[in-house]
């Protein structure tokens, strides 16, 4: 019966659980750090101490696990905690393949911090399957990591193709699906072994929780090592955040579909603006990722797009300075639209074009957003 429910139904009812003690439809926030033992020294209810796990987080995990059609889910105190756990749970001295263009902080960790922990990353253009195939080392590569659509150019990686290559080399495929969300893409259904989310973004959707998640295709030894790593590092999501996240996920489908529609409207509108050198959005049929995106995304192409300002970096920074409605801030996936000059955020060594402005479409009226960005572009002279 449960298997046939549509994702919208699961999300709206937060998995359908009703609090047994009170009948409450909204789960209580259990703040306990410790739990009572049974008189015969057992912990039959499954909780002993709140560093490895807590009941509110478990309910959030249940919802996301079902939305991704996974076998197990581990939520963490941030997306980075989830992502680093996915690498740290690999067998010793692992080789991994990761994208050249990906979430900046994770790339920095892989390049600068992970080698001391025995993790050796090769960075390639993961939109090119031949490049992935050339980088994997059969028997040595443990994980291929892709991000799709990828920050901040929204490049699309072919999940099915990457899974085939990873598996042929004896490696797993992990997908950072933060931007796509389970509403638009379900990587496990396309062959991925693990999905990572920054729950900070669309899953929560209200810019008031830092959280992350890993969803696993199998409850296997790799999952067990990741669960152990989360417990040992103390990286679990706290109960207050889990409660907010459960609330946020109830409206996930409505938000993501609306934000995707708005992003497409913005992309189409600004594609012909002479002040703009190019719009980066996988939902534009001229975009290089469009065909692959159509093959693996359903119901939209995401709420993120970037625009490149023809007059260059200074004009881009000035455009961001001139908006009145858009909020000048980093992060994404919230109900309020955000704009940022991405190269300033990423700093030295970034591959991000200096003329690029990253846009996160919120839930405001698309016309209001267009008007404000038009006036900001126009006031550049
Ligand atoms: C934000 C983000 C992360 C990191 O998540 P945090 O919750 O900030 O730790 C990872 N990947 C992508 C695509 C992101 O947007």
Answer yes or no: is the C-beta of 175 below 6 A from any ligand 1 atom.
no
pLDDT of residue 379: 73
In Å, what is the CA distance from 4 to each residue of 8, 59, 182, 205? 12, 19, 16, 26
pLDDT of residue 153: 96
Distance from residue 80's CA to the centre of ligand 1 (Å): 6
Low-confidence residues in the chain, pLDDT < 70: 1-3, 380-381
Distance from residue 303's CA to the centre of ligand 1 (Å): 15
In angstroms, rounded to a whole number, what is the distance separating the alpha carbons of residues 224 and 371? Answer: 51
Active site residue 365: no
Domains along the sequence of the chain with CATH: 7-250 (3.40.640.10), 253-378 (3.90.1150.10)
Q: Which of 35, 51, 137, 288 is catalytic?
A: 51
Answer yes or no: is the C-beta of 77 below 6 A from any ligand 1 atom.
no
What atom of ligand 1 comes closest to residue 211's alpha carbon? Answer: 7
Answer yes or no: is the C-beta of 243 below 6 A from any ligand 1 atom.
no
The residue whose C-alpha atom lies closest to atom 6 belonging to ligand 1 is: 79
| Sequence-ordered list of residues with C-beta below 8 angstroms from that of 291, at least 6 positions apart, any chain | none
- For residues 45, 48, 51, 53, the Cα torsion angle rounded to the nearest 10 degrees is -10
Q: Which of 66, 107, 142, 201 is catalytic?
A: 201
What atom of ligand 1 comes closest to residue 106's alpha carbon? Answer: 10
Answer yes or no: is the C-beta of 78 below 6 A from any ligand 1 atom.
yes
In angstroms, rounded to a whole number, what is the distance separating the alpha carbons of residues 56 and 36? Answer: 17
| Residue 165 Ramachandran class (φ > 0 left, ψ -120 to 50 alpha, else beta) | alpha
Active site residue 103: yes
pLDDT of residue 349: 86
In angstroms, rounded to a whole number, what is the distance separating the alpha carbons of residues 50 and 151? Answer: 33
Distance from residue 84's CA to the centre of ligand 1 (Å): 11
Answer yes or no: is the C-beta of 181 below 6 A from any ligand 1 atom.
no
In angstroms, rounded to a whole number, what is the distance separating the alpha carbons of residues 60 and 79? Answer: 15
Answer yes or no: is the C-beta of 210 below 6 A from any ligand 1 atom.
yes
In angstroms, rounded to a whole number, what is the distance separating the alpha carbons of residues 169 and 303? Answer: 34
pTM of the prediction?
0.97
CA 103 to chain centre: 9
- Contact of 380 with 275, CB cutoff 8 Å: yes
Tell which residue, 267, 273, 304, has the closest CA to residue 286: 267
In angstroms, rounded to a whole number, what is the distance separating the alpha carbons of residues 366 and 291? Answer: 25
Distance from residue 59's CA to the centre of ligand 1 (Å): 22
Active site residue 225: no
Distance from residue 177's CA to the centre of ligand 1 (Å): 10
Distance from residue 82's CA to the centre of ligand 1 (Å): 9
In angstroms, rounded to a whole number, what is the distance separating the alpha carbons of residues 291 and 295? Answer: 6
Active site residue 327: no
Answer yes or no: is the C-beta of 201 below 6 A from any ligand 1 atom.
yes
Distance from residue 158's CA to the centre of ligand 1 (Å): 20
pLDDT of residue 3: 56
The residue whose C-alpha atom lies closest to atom 5 belonging to ligand 1 is: 79
């Amino acid at each position: 019966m449960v298997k046939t429910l549509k994702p919208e139904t699961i999300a709206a009812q937060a998995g359908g659980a009703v609090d047994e003690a009170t009948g409450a439809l909204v789960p209580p926030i259990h703040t306990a750090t410790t739990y009572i033992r049974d008189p015969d020294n057992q912990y039959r209810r499954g909780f002993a101490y709140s560093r490895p796990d807590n009941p509110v987080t478990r309910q959030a995990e249940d919802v996301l696990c079902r939305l991704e059609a996974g076998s197990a889910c581990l939520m963490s105190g941030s997306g980075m905690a989830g992502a680093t756990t996915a690498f740290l749970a690999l067998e010793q001295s692992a080789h991994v393949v990761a994208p050249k263009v990906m979430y900046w902080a994770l790339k920095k960790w892989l390049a600068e911090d992970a080698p001391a922990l025995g993790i050796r990353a090769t960075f390639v253009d993961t939109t090119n399957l031949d490049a992935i195939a050339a980088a994997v080392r059969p028997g040595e590569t443990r994980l291929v990591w892709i991000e799709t659509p990828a920050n901040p150019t929204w490049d699309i990686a072919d999940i099915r193709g990457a899974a085939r290559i990873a598996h042929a080399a004896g490696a797993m495929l992990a997908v950072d699906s933060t931007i796509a969300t389970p509403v638009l893409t379900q990587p496990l259904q396309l062959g991925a072994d693990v999905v990572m989310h920054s729950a900070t973004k669309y899953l929560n959707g209200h810019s008031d929780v830092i959280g992350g998640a890993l969803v696993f295709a199998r409850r296997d030894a790799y999952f067990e090592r990741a669960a152990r790593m989360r417990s040992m590092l103390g990286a679990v999501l706290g109960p207050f955040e889990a409660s907010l996240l459960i609330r946020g996920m109830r409206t996930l489908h409505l938000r993501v579909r609306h934000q995707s529609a708005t992003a497409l409207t913005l992309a189409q509108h600004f594609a012909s603006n002479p002040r703009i050198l190019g719009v980066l959005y996988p939902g534009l049929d001229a975009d290089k990722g469009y065909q692959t995106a159509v093959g693996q995304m359903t119901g939209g192409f995401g709420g993120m797009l970037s625009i490149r300002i023809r007059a260059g970096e200074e004009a881009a920074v000035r455009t961001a300075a001139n908006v009145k409605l858009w909020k000048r801030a980093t992060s994404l996936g919230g109900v309020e639209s955000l704009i940022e000059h991405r190269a300033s955020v990423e700093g030295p060594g970034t591959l991000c074009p200096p003329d690029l402005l990253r846009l996160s479409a919120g839930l405001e009226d698309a016309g209001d957003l267009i008007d404000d960005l038009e006036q900001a572009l126009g006031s550049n002279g």
